[in-house]
Amino acid sequence: MDSLLNFETGITLFLQNLGTWLAGPFQAISFLATEEFFILVLPLVFWSIDSLMGLRMAFMLVINGSFNCYFKMIFHSPRPFWFDSRVKSYSLETSFGLPSGHSQNAASQFGIMAATVRKKGFTIAMLVVIFLVGLSRLYLGMHFLRDVLAGWLLGGLFVWLYMRYEKPTAKWLSTKSLSMQILLSLVLGIALILLGFGSKALTTSWQMPAEWINTAALTGGAVPDPFNMEGIITLGGVAFGFMSGYAIWVKKFGQPKALGSALKRFARYIVGIVGVIALYLGLKMIFPEEPLALGFILRFIRYTLIGLWVTYFAPLIFKKLKLEK
């Protein structure tokens, strides 16, 4: 295993030896597959470009992010800058390495966009972005080649599964009452969280090698904190809020559609994103993080409200302001 890791470390060192001038461009490319980027872009797509694509992206974000966390904790694989002090750390990551979350996000998000648009030129462009995101993770010292390949594979698999089962699942859900759909959304959110804690429980007897922590410090990288559960709580809350809000809207008003002039689409985004930022930052300042159990509950509520805002409350305001058409 170490010999293979040494070989893959050589790939990272080769890329980093091409020059530090690549750090900035690759950091920018890597940002395209982060939570922060999709917090800004996903509402834009849902409100102003293509509501179906936005829904698909949200589901991909939740499912891929959750399973990425599960696999990371189960495999507890190191990052290159934990393994070899020669690797420079050009980013701040504290979780385990396998599979690469950025690569998985890129493959799933840009993959589902390509599957929705279904145009050759757009698909090629999305594949280029997916490749560059994976390459950036190698250069930045965040992942071994295996991590990136696994991320691409899982992301692509989830896109295929979603497109394969979207219609029969939607048809089945349409037969359920609104209260049942909301309950199922809550069950999904809670299940994602419980699976996260279950994955963590499977590794209780495992101890992180001290040399990983020491090597990370030598490279200037972030201190490893791979069992932090905040990400799982976040995704569970987003799943419940987004899906239940969507169900309420469909029952009341029908399928959402991103219609109207370019000016109205832009206005919807500005009004809506102000609400997202207000909830994201405002509730973060108000809600305490300790004790830990209370902090987790409040984090779940916070991201539930953000999900509800995106799929129900913001569109309701658009309707009141006559911005929906």
Query: Is it the case that residue 211 has pLDDT exceeding 70?
Result: yes
Q: What is the pLDDT of residues 140-199, one digit of tens each?
A: 999 999 999 999 999 999 999 999 999 999 999 888 999 999 999 999 999 999 999 988
Could you give the dihedral angle defined by the CA atoms of residues 125, 129, 135 and 136, in that order, rounded to the nearest 10 degrees? Answer: 150
pLDDT score of 36? 83
pLDDT score of 133? 96
Which of 325 and 254 is assigned the larger pLDDT? 254
Which of 196 and 208 is assigned the larger pLDDT? 196
Question: Contact at 8 Å (CB) between 235 and 67?
Answer: no
Cα–chain center distance at 132: 17
Question: Contact at 8 Å (CB) between 112 and 53?
Answer: yes
pLDDT score of 51? 92
Arithmetic mean of pLDDT over the chain: 90
> In angstroms, rounded to a whole number, what is the distance separating the alpha carbons of residues 155 and 294?
33
pLDDT score of 230? 86
DSSP 233-264: HHHHHHHHHHHHHHHHHHHHH-S----S-HHH
The residues, any chain, with a CB within 8 Å of residue 290's CB and separated by 6 or more, are none
What token pair was written down for 283? 């509730």
Query: Is it the case that residue 266 has pLDDT exceeding 80?
Result: yes
Query: Is it the case that residue 1 has pLDDT exceeding 60?
Result: no
Which of 154 and 323 is assigned the larger pLDDT? 154
Percent of the chain with pLDDT over 90: 60
Q: CA-CA distances (angstroms) from residue 146 to 89, 138, 189, 217, 302?
A: 18, 10, 30, 23, 35
Question: Contact at 8 Å (CB) between 61 and 105?
Answer: yes
Mean pLDDT, rounded, for 48-60: 93
Question: Which range is least confidently modeled, 53-67, 88-102, 266-280?
Answer: 88-102
